[in-house]
Structure 1
Amino acid sequence: MDKPVIILGAKGIAHPALEIFNSNQVIVYGFLDEDASTHGTEINNVPVLGHTEDEGFLKLIGKKTEAFVAVDDSKYRKFLVDMLLENRKMQPVNAIHQRAYVSTDAAIGHGNFVNANVIIGAGTEVGSHCIFHTGAIIDHKSKIQDFVQIGAGSIINAEVTIEEGAFIGSGVTIVAGVTIGKGARVGAGSVVIASVGKNETVFGNPAAKVK
């Protein structure tokens, strides 16, 4: 990557995103954040320049810089992604840690956060704007749709489908072949042995629907 990166967001995954770009010798120009109290502060000597919708900084994106959206909340992340696409005609870059492994025949979209020790297996299809926390394992031929978040140390076994916007907590195990529906949530430490419906929340071992 030749251009420096502006990171949208200065909390949550923003700090590890900076570390990821540093690990790949990519310069981070600065952060933008909606919280005015962060403006003028620094993260590891990189400044928080202003608001995520500050046109003075946004106009640099696509011309002089790339962008990465480092926001945990999926609705706000989608808003910022749509803003970049509409106003700057560009997609955020991926942030993939040097110590992550992405199979040579995995397909991966735009704007994904892939932290250290993540494994994305052969034939896996990953959409865009997903978050894979440290040590998550995505086994072969799984399908991960857009805006999915997978917690640290979770194991997604072979040929699992996780639909758009689903949230998988830390330390979850999902057995091979099941589907996690759009917008579903799986609580930390759960073992999922059956498919989970759209917008359902499940928890436990074996995971059961939370009413």
Structure 2
Amino acid sequence: MEKPVIILGAKGIAHPALEIFNSHNVIVYGFLDEDASLHQKEINHVSVLGSTEDDGFLKLIGKKCEAFVAVDDPTYRKYLVKLLNERRKMQPINAVHKTAYISTDAAIGHGNFINGKVSLGAGASVGSHCIFHSGAVLEHLVEVGDYVQVGAGSIINSGVKIGEGAFIGSGAIIVSGVKIGKNARVGAGSLVIADVEEDTTVFGNPAKKLD
């Protein structure tokens, strides 16, 4: 990667994303964030330049700069990805930590955040704009949709399918072959031994639906 990067968002995963790009000797030109109170402040010596919709900076993306969307909230993340797709005709790049392991035949889309010690096993398939926190393990043949977030230390066993927009809390374990529905939520530390329906929240050991 030769072009510098503009990071959209200056909170949440923005700081570790900066660290990832720094570790690959990729220049981060600056951050853009909707929160005006952050403008002109610095994160590890890199400035928050202005708003995420500032055309003065956005026009650099796709020409002189790449972009990465560092926003935890899936709704706002989707909005910013759509903005880049429509106004700049480009996809955000991936931010992959040096210590992450990605199998040679795993497939990943665009704009994913893959932090340190994450492991993607053989034949795993990951969509776009997902967030994988430190130490998450996805075994072989796992399938992950777009905009999924997997918490630190979670273990996703072989053959699991996770639908778009699902959230897996830190330290959760999903046993082999389970299906996690679209926009479902799995609480931190839960053990999931059965399928989870769309838009459902489960928690516990074994995980049960919350009313």
TM-score tier after normalising by the smaller chain length: over 0.9
The Cα shift of 1:56 comes to 0.5
CA distance in 2, matches of 1:117, 1:23: 14
May I ask how many residue pairs the two structures share in their alignment? 211
- Taking the aligned partners of 1:180 and 1:25, their CA distance within structure 2 comes to 37
Q: Distance in 2 between matches of 1:26 and 1:104?
A: 23
Q: What percentage of aligned pairs have identical amino acids? A: 72
* Structure 2 runs not aligned, ≥5 long: none
The superposition leaves residues 36-76 of structure 1 with CA deviations (integer Å, 9 ceiling, x where unpaired) of 00001000000000000101000000000000000000000
CA deviation vs aligned residue, 1:133-190 (integer Å, no higher than 9, x gap): 0000000000000000000000000000000000000000000000000000000000
**In structure 2, C-alpha distance between the alignment counterparts of 1:21 and 1:156, rounded to whole Å:** 26
TM superposition score normalised by structure 2? 1.00
1:198 to 2:194 alignment: no
Which one-letter code corresponds to 1:16 in the other structure? P
**1:115-147 CA distance string (max 9 Å, x none):** 000000000000000000000000000000000
TM-superposed deviation, 1:23: 1.0
C-alpha RMSD of the superposition: 0.3
* Equivalent residue letter for 2:44: N
Q: Distance in 1 between matches of 2:33 and 2:9?
A: 5
Q: How does 1:6-85 map to 2 (within 5 A)?
A: 6-85=6-85
In 1, Cα distance between the equivalents of 2:43 and 2:101? 27
Q: Provide the rounded CA distance (Å) in 2 between the counterparts of 1:24 and 1:140.
A: 27
Aligned-partner residue type, residue 206 of structure 1: P
Write the deviation string for residues 67-90 of structure 1: whole angstroms up to 9, x where unpaired: 000000000000000000000000
Q: Within 5 Å, which residues of 2 pair with 1:146-165?
A: 146-165=146-165
Residue in structure 1 matched with residue 133 of structure 2 by the alignment: 133
Q: Which position in structure 2 is the counterpart of 1:182?
A: 182
Distance 1:102 1:20 in 2: 15
- Report the Cα distance in structure 1 between the residues aligned to 2:185 and 2:24, rounded to whole angstroms: 32
2-structure distance, mates of 1:93, 1:81: 11
